[in-house]
Amino acid sequence: MIARCFNPTCAAPFQYLRGGKLFVRDSGNYGKGGTGVSQRHVEHFWLCGSCARSVTLDLQARKPQVIPLTTQRRSAGSRQLSDTRR
């Protein structure tokens, strides 16, 4: 589960999606879970509200990278969720 902001220079704790942006990466890989049932591997990453205003995540990399919003690239294999509806 998400514990804090993904930005390594920030230590904001994850608090019930009250702010910031949640990123979801679906690797498309299926693996066997502890129950022996195939499970899709989905990763979640969160940027706090403060970080989300200036940076975003590049989910195309093997390990997600924090990048400035000005160099944001469209990533077809991922989607970005907003928490503003709660």
Please, which of residues 2-31 interact with Zn ion by CB under 5 A? 5, 7, 10, 12
SS (H, E, C) the chain: CCCECCCCCCCCECCCCCCCEEEEEEEEEEEECCCCCEEEEEEEEEECHHHHCCEEEECCCCCCEEEEHHHCCCCCCEEEEECCCC
- 59 is a site residue for Zn ion (CB under 5 A): no
Q: Which is nearer to Zn ion, 48 or 78 (CB)?
A: 48
> Shortest distance, CB of residue 48 to Zn ion, whole angstroms?
3
Residues that bind Zn ion (CB under 5 A): 5, 7, 10, 12, 48, 51
